Structure 1
Amino acid sequence: MDILALRPVPAAAVLMAITRRCPLRCRHCSTGSLPASEEHPGEIFQRFAGTFAPGDGPRLVMLTGGEPLLRPRLARSLAEAAARGGGRTMILSGMFFAPRLPPAAGEKVRIPPAIAGAIDAADHFSASLDAFHEEEVPRESVFAVMRALLARGKDLSFHVTGTGPGDPYLRDVTSAVRREFGDRVPMLVSRVKPVGRARATAPPPTRTATATTTAEAVTALKTGTATATATRTAGAALTPGTGPPPGTGTATATATATGDATTTTTGDATATAGATAVAGSALPCAMAAWPAVGFDGTITACCNQDVVDHRPVPGHLRLGHAGTDDWDTVRERCLESGVLRALRTYGPLWLAGAPPSRGYCETCRTLDVPPPARTPAAAFVERRVLDLQLAGGGTAFARRYGCPPYDDLVSLGHPEREHDL
């Protein structure tokens, strides 16, 4: 919950995909990883992490892949570099190292020493668990490793993926995790997205919600049931020519988006101004907040797999390269880019003046607009949008980008959790 609460904060964290390789062949893999997929020299990532300065480095470094624990010494080195810069580290693993046969009662689980060292160096460890991973690694084997780590005091979570709220697998596996770990281990539950190998298995997005008044929009943004920003109704202080591009409407209206913290974000938006349909409704993008270091060291402003995988990266989404740029430079570009600031505040449909039928992320990837003017009114709206997202916390983020009704599972084990599910 603490990690997700940081998700809308620009440059609060950095994602590092340190390899595209993975020994598993999960059918829903968003990266399409294989054992022989691309892998670039570790020095690229180490060089970049070496620029994290105390008090000015990212608060969180999230190591992903592929399978990051195929490079355990690199993962440990990056975790140590993050700590020297005052940050913490999270590792997300597909659990390929879990025993293929669940250990017998009382039998100690053996974790390969190099992998154990990388996990120990990280502050948080998260295991992927879903029907597709269970075809590769038995659930009980994953549980056995997580029990051993929990007994050693490790901070843990599960990344659980299903096809949607009605997926019976999600009911089964979330209940099993809660029974096994006594509500001490949180879960981020999300949906399979049509990216990578999952293009053949993911259902199309169908969830849409609209806020038609300023009051509804503010409530929706704070709670995560939908997301909205100020249009001319909510941001009346905007003077002509100082806000987002013209043609963006006269009322507040938005839609929810589907997606998760590591793959794509898609959605549709519908807006009305009285009886008039509006193009370019506002839907802030929290995914344009954390820089993402790709497999080859290219740094993007977005973790959408289609952005991370394809070259060239759209100019407004490219932040640099880990082999040549330092964290301060990347952080400044992330914070100061006018287009990125506007994406985080209004979203791509608003900026492009695009019709509601346009795809959310597709519109962003093809965006070609000048940065909106930076004015006191625009800065006020930007700050207000961020404040609303922060007020919702990790649970609201999980509700928007994850899979309701499982969003509150991110709070399991958290000291501020005030009620049982």
Structure 2
Amino acid sequence: MDILALRPVPAAAVLMAITRRCPLRCRHCSTGSLPASEEHPGEIFRRFAGTFAPGDGPRLVMLTGGEPLLRPRLARSLAEAAARGGARTMILSGMFFAPRVPPAAGEAVRIPPAIEEAIDAADHFSASLDAFHEEEVPRESVFAVMRALLARGKDLSFHVTGTGPGDPYLRDVTSAVRREFGDRVPMLVGRVRPVGRARTTASSFPAAAAGNASRAAAAGTVTAPGTGPPAGTGTTTTTGAVTGTAGSALPCAMAAWPAVGFDGTITACCNQDVVDHRPVPGHLRLGHAGTDDWGTVRERCLGSGALRALRTYGPLWLAGAPPERGYCETCRTLDVPPPAPTPAAAFVERQVLGLQLAGGGRGFARRYGCPPYDDLVSLGHPEREHDL
């Protein structure tokens, strides 16, 4: 909940996709990762993390992939560099290292030493859990690893993905997590998106659903929570299409955190189509980890008129576009000047940010995740209202 509360704050954090490789072959993968996918020298990422400075660096560094724990020594060194720069680190993993056969009751689970050291170096560890990951790694094996980490005092969460509020898999898995961990481990529940490998494999999802009972109940496409367009104007379909009127004002919190892609290119948002494709649209490119430092990237993120306008009004308003054109698609093709930097514009910008901050982590989960599961981000948090 604390991490999500920071999500609308420009340059409060940086996402680093340190590899595109992954040993799992999940059919819904938002990045289309494979064991032999692209991977660039770790020095690119180390160099950039070395420019973080206390008081001026990001508050959070989120390590993703692909599978970031395929490079455990790099992940550990980045977490240590982030700590020296005053930042905390989160690692998001697909749990490929969990045992394929769940350990017997009372049997200790073994985590490979290098991976264990990387997890120990990070401040927060999150496991991806959904019907398609479960085809690769058994749920009980994931639970066994998370139990072991929780027993050692690790700060944990789950990233859970389903096809929408009515998906019976979400009811099943969120209930299982709550039972297993006694409401001590929060969950960010996301929705389906047509991104990455899922864009071309969506037609096969119903067959998986038939074989997994409640574990994949509807066709669709899935990506990590928070990478698609927001809800809030009219209605949002399971593929993320926003309905409303032409030029609707719908601020984009995704244009707040810089994202370092697999090749070191730094973009202004983590939308997979932006991270993957070259060239990056000019208004969404912030630099390169091999040549730019954090201070430069931060200044570009904070000072760009286009990004400030996207965070305040959203791409549909800027382009005067109808929602059926697509929220993120409109942003990627945006070719209009941002509003003039007037005192009134600055006032509106502050008000919009203030409203998002007032919503906190639950507000972000409600907008970008999967209602009615937004409250699950607060499990285990000391400020959670116990009567909810």
Letter in 2 for 1:203: G
Partner of 1:161: 161
SS of residue in 1 equivalent to 2:263: coil
Partner of 1:387: 354
Give, in whole Å, the separation in 1 of the partners of 2:74 and 2:106: 32
Give, in whole Å, the separation in 1 of the partners of 2:316 and 2:293: 31
**Which runs of no fewer than 5 residues in structure 1 stay unpaired?**
206-224, 228-253, 260-264, 272-278
8 Å Cα contact 1:268/1:358 also seen in 2 = no
Distance change in 2, residues 1:52/1:59 (3 Å): same
Q: Residue 294 of structure 2: which of 316, 327, 341 is its match?
A: 327
Partner deviation per Cα, 1:382-401 (whole Å, 9 max, x = no partner) = 00000000000110110111
Q: Say whether residues 1:140 and 2:114 are aligned partners.
A: no
Partner of 1:242: none
TM-fit CA distance, 1:269 = 4.0
Alignment of 1:303-342 (within 5 A): 303-342=270-309
Letter in 1 for 2:340: A
8 Å Cα contact 2:231/2:368 also seen in 1 = no
Residue identity over aligned pairs, in percent, reads 91
TM-fit CA distance, 1:106 = 1.3
Partner deviation per Cα, 1:91-119 (whole Å, 9 max, x = no partner) = 00000000111111111111000000000
Q: Say whether residues 1:371 and 2:345 are aligned partners.
A: no
Distance change in 2, residues 1:56/1:134 (3 Å): same
TM-fit CA distance, 1:268 = 1.9
Give, in whole Å, the separation in 2 of the partners of 1:337 and 1:304: 18
Give, in whole Å, the separation in 2 of the partners of 1:325 and 1:104: 50
Q: Say whether residues 1:80 and 2:85 are aligned partners.
A: no
TM-fit CA distance, 1:266 = 4.1
Give, in whole Å, the separation in 2 of the partners of 1:294 and 1:197: 17
Q: Residue 280 of structure 1: which of 226, 244, 247 is its match?
A: 247
Letter in 2 for 1:61: V
Letter in 2 for 1:124: H
Give, in whole Å, the separation in 1 of the partners of 2:324 and 2:105: 55
Distance change in 2, residues 1:257/1:329 (3 Å): farther
Partner of 1:216: none
Give, in whole Å, the separation in 2 of the partners of 1:413 and 1:303: 27
Q: Residue 360 of structure 1: which of 317, 323, 327 is its match?
A: 327
Q: Say whether residues 1:417 and 2:384 are aligned partners.
A: yes
SS of residue in 1 equivalent to 2:323: coil
8 Å Cα contact 1:192/1:198 also seen in 2 = no
TM-fit CA distance, 1:369 = 1.1
Give, in whole Å, the separation in 1 of the partners of 2:283 and 2:235: 24
Q: Residue 220 of structure 2: which of 198, 203, 218 is its match?
A: 203
Give, in whole Å, the separation in 1 of the partners of 2:256 and 2:308: 9
Letter in 1 for 2:132: F
Distance change in 2, residues 1:159/1:60 (3 Å): same
8 Å Cα contact 2:252/2:311 also seen in 1 = yes
Partner of 2:177: 177
Alignment of 1:2-401 (within 5 A): 2-199=2-199, 200-201=201-202, 203=220, 227=232, 254-255=233-234, 266-271=240-245, 279-401=246-368
Q: What is the TM-score when the length of structure 2 is the normalising length?
A: 0.91
Partner deviation per Cα, 1:122-181 (whole Å, 9 max, x = no partner) = 000000001100000000000000000000000000000111111111111000000000
Q: What is the TM-score when the length of structure 1 is the normalising length?
A: 0.84
Distance change in 2, residues 1:282/1:95 (3 Å): same
TM-fit CA distance, 1:379 = 0.4
Structure 1 or 2, whichever has the larger Rg, is 1
Distance change in 2, residues 1:194/1:163 (3 Å): same
Letter in 1 for 2:294: W
Give, in whole Å, the separation in 2 of the partners of 1:257 and 1:286: 17
TM-fit CA distance, 1:257 = 5.4
Give, in whole Å, the separation in 2 of the partners of 1:129 and 1:40: 27
